[in-house]
Amino acid sequence: MLTVIIKLMAYIIVTGGAGFIGSNVVKELNSLGAEKIIIVDNLGSTEKWKNLVDLSFEDYIHKDDFIEKIKKGLFNHSVSSIIHLGARSSTTEKDVDFLMKNNYEYTKELAKWATEKKVRFIYASSAATYGDGTAGFSDEHNLLYKLRPLNAYGFSKHIFDLWALKNGVLDKVVGLKYFNVFGPREWHKGDMRSMVLKAYEQIKREGKIKLFKSYNPSYKDGEQLRDFIYVKDAVSMTLFFLERPDINGIFNVGTGIPRSWNDLAQAVFDAVGLKPQVEYIDMPEELKGKYQYFTKADISKIRAAGYSKPTLTLEEAVKDYVLNYLEQSF
């Protein structure tokens, strides 16, 4: 069904299309036959461009040029959908004014343009909006007011969700709260690379994995829990909403099954065929008050909307990532 829809579509715009999830989205769109794709990003002096080498798309536009054309009414392509994944995603970013301009204001401009033009708009929110989890991890709209993000990045995402809710936009667009996504094409993310990739690199260098100690008496070292989701499943959930333009609102993108960092370490060691060796290290002081000890996506809403595909287990996903991608390129 999605393949047929894509072939009938005008341009699909993917912002952040050279990034981690964005380039995986474009790769999957290509596999479904879509090539009328415009990638919007900011390559700068990074090597993100390498994520574009094997992709098929019709144009690349710098993010600043793109938003200026949108604001001035100069963007004249026939567009069916915008998948807005571009953002400053560092959870340690301290320039809040930059986050507000880049993540909040930019998304507002695109959302207003898309809803006015009746263009399908799917944007990335974040599980960082849930803060320490005190208010739970439900994606029901009435709970948005109870959330308290722990970092500026999460705040910049959260206030757009609130703006969309208060201004009647949320019932016309889709916001996706991605949990801990990992997988191929994330190599360029620096400190924001997933722990799966970092763990693999540590094993290759030192033969062991380093994990943060726990400073919460409810969790032993390495037993902090996160909802880890493979990028292939995250992409599948994202494109589900391209196929179902009648469904709108905020939805969690996760597995609904929290796993420990120790589980993740074991899965990586198993994938490379080595006996686990884990060293627990001190957490940087600046992270201690902003650390999420537990996340679990409530995915009942996306399931009720019709998404029925099972997600890979942590072990299945890590094995695929390590053997079919990391081992091939290390």
Instruction: Tell me the Ramachandran region of residue 168: left when phi exceeds 0, alpha when psi lies from -120 to 50, beta otherwise.
Output: left
Q: Is the pLDDT higher at 85 or at 190?
A: 85
CA 95 to chain centre: 21
Residue 265 has pLDDT above 60, yes or no: yes
Q: Pick the range with the lowest mean pLDDT from 2-6, 115-119, 167-171, 219-223.
A: 2-6
Helix, strand, or coil here: 2? helix
In whole angstroms, give the CA distance from residue 35 to residue 57: 5
What's the pTM?
A: 0.94
Q: What is the pLDDT of residue 244?
A: 95
The answer to whether 57 touches 38, Cβ cutoff 8 Å, is yes
Strands 259-260 and 225-226: antiparallel
Q: What is the pLDDT of residue 171?
A: 96
Where along the chain do its domains lie?
Answer: 2-180+230-255+297-311
Q: Enter the tokens of residue 158.
A: 């959260």
Q: What are the tens digits of pLDDT across the range 230-261?
A: 999 999 999 999 999 999 999 999 999 999 99
pLDDT bucket at 330, cuts 50 / 70 / 90: low
CATH topology of domain 2-180+230-255+297-311: Rossmann fold (3.40.50)
Residue 8's pLDDT is: 56
Comparing CA positions, the residue from 162, 136, 92 lying closest to residue 252 is: 136
Question: So which residues are the catalytic ones?
Answer: 153, 189
Confidence at residue 26, expressed as pLDDT on a 0 to 100 scale: 98
At residue 6, the pLDDT reads 61
Ramachandran sector of residue 14 (left: φ over 0; alpha: ψ -120 to 50; beta: rest): beta
DSSP strands (E only) in the chain: 11-15, 37-41, 59-62, 79-84, 120-124, 174-178, 180-182, 209-212, 225-226, 228-230, 249-253, 259-260, 278-281
pLDDT at residue 77, rounded to an integer? 86
Task: DSSP for 187-239, please give it.
Answer: GGGGGGS-HHHHHHHHHHHHSSEEEEPP-STTS-TT--EE-EEEHHHHHHHHH
In tens, the pLDDT along 34-47 reads 999 999 999 988 88
Is 298 a residue whose pLDDT tops 80? yes
Query: Tokens in use for 187?
Result: 């190599």
Q: Residue 69's pLDDT is what?
A: 95
Question: Which tokens in the block code for residue 292?
Answer: 């999420």
Using one digit for the tens of pLDDT, what is the confidence trace for 8-39? 568 999 999 999 999 999 999 999 999 999 99
